[in-house]
Structures are given as structure tokens and as C-alpha cells.
Amino acid sequence: MRSDTRSALARHRSMRRAFARAMRQALHDHRAAVIGSLKAAFTGDVAPSAPPGASARERAAVDPREHPAAARDGVWELWPESAGDADATAQRLQARVLRVIENHPEGVCALDLGNELGVDWRGVLGITRTLMDAGKVEQVEHEFYPVEQAGRRW
């Protein structure tokens, strides 16, 4: 009886894992297709032809260097950037984080901050540390406050 239960649980676990892999692949393919259609819409290009059997990610691949106007307008923010572009992107994200914290004078936790920005909350922690070091944000327990609001809380 015990071995039957264990084997049933093992089968169920392997089915769950297979389903999760298939779901992740489908989501990656869908994301790549959406990005490809956005690229085509912003650049006015027709999606590049890909070999038969290519994944959506391969069908959607377009080199942003081929479209300098689109790269300049920020269409390609989802692709790897050069070091200078990465610094500019980090500064923009830091400004967005600060703006969200300032919009929540009652305080905002990292999870809600990440949700509002559409990023993983763990990625926000480094930015909030930088803002705290710069004296723009204060942390009280798990909540982040703009400096002027944090002084009133204590």
C-alpha cells in the first residue's frame, strides 16, 4: 500500500512538472510573439521570415541595430543593453521607484512597490538601498517612505 501511494505521488509530481514546463514554454513563445508584433508595429517592418519549425522567439528576433530610430525611441528596452544604456535604464528605474514611494506617503512595502512597477520585488531592494544611502528614502520596519514623510512617522 505504501509503495502504491509513493508511486502515485511520483506520477502526479512528474505530470505537474511536465505541465509546468509546457506552460513556461508556451508563455515564453507567446511573449516572444507579442514582442515581435510590437517591433513590427513600431518599426513598420514585416516580421522576418524564419525557417519552418522555428519557435516564436526565433520568428520574433529582429536586431535593434537594424532600426536605430526604434532603438533611440526606447522600443528595444527588453533586449540587452550596452553599459551606458544600462546606467540610463537604472537611473530611469530609480526615478520610477522614487516616484512610486513619493506617491505613497503612508508608506509602501517592497512587494507592493514591485507590483506597482511590474517588476520582481527583490529587484527593488537594491534600488531602495541606493535611495536610502542618497537620503531620499527612509525605511521603517518593512515600509519605505519619502524622507519628509518618514520624519513625521517617528
Between helix 121-133 and helix 83-102 the angle, nearest 10°, is: 80
- Provide the domain count of the chain: 2
Last residue within a domain, chosen from 15, 39, 72: 72
Q: 61 and 96 in one domain?
A: no
Structural domain includes residue 16: yes
94 lies in a domain? yes
Is 78 inside a domain boundary?
no
Candidates 18, 63, 25, 58; CA nearest to 43 is 63
Is residue 77 situated within a structural domain? no
User: Do both 36 and 12 map to the same domain?
Assistant: yes
d(CA 57, CA 12): 30
Q: Is the pTM of this model over 0.75?
A: no
Statement to judge: residues 8 and 42 lie in one domain: yes
Over residues 109-119, the pLDDT tens digits come to: 999 999 998 88
Higher pLDDT, 18 or 75: 18
- CATH number reported for the structural domain that contains residue 145 in this entry: 1.10.10.10
pLDDT at residue 50 greater than cutoff 80: no
> pLDDT tens across 51-72, in order?
555 555 555 554 545 555 444 4
- In terms of residue numbers, what domain contains 22? 2-72
